[in-house]
A and B are shown apart, each in its own frame.
Chain A
Amino acid sequence: MPLASEEAVAHDVRPIAAPDIANDNDRARWRDHETYKALFVNPWTYMTGAVVLALLNIALVAATGKGWGVTTSLAYWGAWIWQAVGGDPHQWAYFAEVKPAFNAPGFNLLKDAGSLTNLGMVVGALLAALAASQFRVKRIKSRRQVAAAVLGGLVMGLGARMAFGCNIGDLFTGLPSMSLHGWVFMVSIFLGAAAGSKLLVKYFI
């Protein structure tokens, strides 16, 4: 195995392109280049990630007047889907009182910065996986996994609405803007994650 020749890589736990496969030689050559691996294959350090995220959030605030958030737009998407199948989410207290922007005339996906950054995140994640040669369609392991994902998604979606955001809206954007709800969220998410981990280990794995 080629592991022994991988001396220079500091963390040394990343994928080893398989130079023993003859057909892969051309691809392996540029993919094995240290600069390419540092940028596109190996995970960035937390420090690099933090600085890049901070710069991007500054740019987002400058461009849209709002910090980065994810789940509010997901609630919009759900409401638009509900509307498409004949429902009327505009009367809901959440949109009437908490998020009146949703009911503004002409509001749509292209006018919601959060929807655009969410789409950008999906496309960016796809490009990153492709650049690292790590894209693959993963199989669904079991019905239990599906049930856990659906149940977890519902609980997290409900929690994110009650908390006015998720890790991003509350911690990443809320805390630096000195908003109290970010601190309440931080304490709550630690308690919730601790309880969730216990349940996961006990019932799911």
Chain B
Amino acid sequence: MAEKTLDCLGEACPVPLIRTQRALSELAVGDLLIVQIDHSCAMKNIPEWANKTGHNFEIQEVDDGQWEIAIERGH
């Protein structure tokens, strides 16, 4: 199981979501993508997309206004 980190700090919507979609599509099923974000609207649209498309995810607040979303490629 590989793990990749995607640095989206300082990027505004919809850039983090689109980069997440691209990065995840390059991983194998079961691999983990860690997306670093500091834009609160990406906190909404990335999990929404992951939910809708069937990838498991977990969010962690790593600092004030900064989060890491761990997404496992589900299919």
Contacts and interface: CB of A to CB of B under 8 A. Distances in A.
A62 B44 CA distance: 35
Contact of B10 (A1, A15, A140, A204): A140
Interface residues of B, number: 23
A135 interface: yes
Interface string B55-66: 000111101111
Given A136-B38, A139-B9, A141-B9, A3 B64 contact: no
A27 to B, nearest CB: 10
Consensus secondary structure, chain A interface: loop
Interface in A8-42: 13-18
A129 interface: yes
A14 to B, nearest CB: 7
Contacts of B58: 1, 3
A133 interface: yes
Contacts of A136: 38, 63-66
Interface of B: 9-11, 14-15, 18-19, 22, 38, 40, 43-44, 47-48, 58-61, 63-67
Interface of A: 1, 3, 13-18, 43, 129, 132-136, 138-141, 145, 197, 200-201, 204-205
Given A16-B61, A135-B64, 14 more contacts: A1-B58, A13-B47, A13-B48, A16-B60, A43-B44, A129-B65, A133-B65, A138-B9, A139-B10, A141-B9, A197-B14, A200-B15, A205-B18, A205-B22
